[in-house]
Structure 1
């Protein structure tokens, strides 16, 4: 059902595509394929990652940020191996990885600062 609906929408929309945009429309990773639409889902992760930038560090999850960093890195590489190469997916995954690594660095610096404060308090007690 959804496949038929999608094909009907594409067939209808094709009538309105200007000649200047035909190469993009007909491209193997163009709007007629999943290769074009899949990155939109990934950009949702990027937006969520940017939303977490202002989140207090103590509320961040190492596992979540680590998995975003790792999967972003792996899928960025994979998006350049598949045929057709999907640069839109590549950039979305790069941003997922960058936000994950950024959050991991925030967590690391926060925990390091806590350790230093703890050592200072122990020295003051002595």
Structure 2
């Protein structure tokens, strides 16, 4: 059974013998890097970069559902890419627009 499953995966039109497998597999690197940036302070995040990550994720998630053959690796990586981009944008927007700025009052002597 495992051998048949492995053979079907290997010979699938979006399997490891094609670019349709390797392109989304390497795209996971961008998603993992964005996840690693969760620990980065929001002021160091970039709106253009996160908008690009989000737009790419959302657009290609939709596209990957209509192409033939179905490429679930492409769909999954783009769902995660869009989700991490939305999360990072929400952190940046919250920090820039909804966080009260603390005003330091210095007392002159």
Secondary structure at 2:53 match in 1: helix
Q: Which runs of 5+ in 1 are unaligned?
A: 1-17, 122-126
Partner of 1:92: 77
Q: Which runs of 5+ in 2 are unaligned?
A: 104-109
Alignment TM-score, normalising by the size of structure 2 = 0.84
Match of 2:66 among 54, 58, 81: 81
What stretches of structure 1 move > 4 A for 4+ residues in a row? none
Residues in 2 aligned to 1:40 and 1:70: alpha-carbon distance in whole angstroms: 19
Partner of 2:101: 117
Length, aligned pairs only: 102
Partner of 2:22: 37
Residues in 1 aligned to 2:61 and 2:26: alpha-carbon distance in whole angstroms: 14
Deviations 1:80-109 (A, max 9, x none): 121111111101011111111001000111
**Is 1:22 aligned with 2:1?**
no
Secondary structure at 2:101 match in 1: helix
Name the larger-Rg structure: 1
User: How many angstroms does 1:113 deviate by?
Assistant: 3.5
Alignment TM-score, normalising by the size of structure 1 = 0.74
| Aligned-residue CA RMSD (Å) | 1.8
Choose between structure 1 and 2: higher helix proportion.
1
Partner of 1:12: none
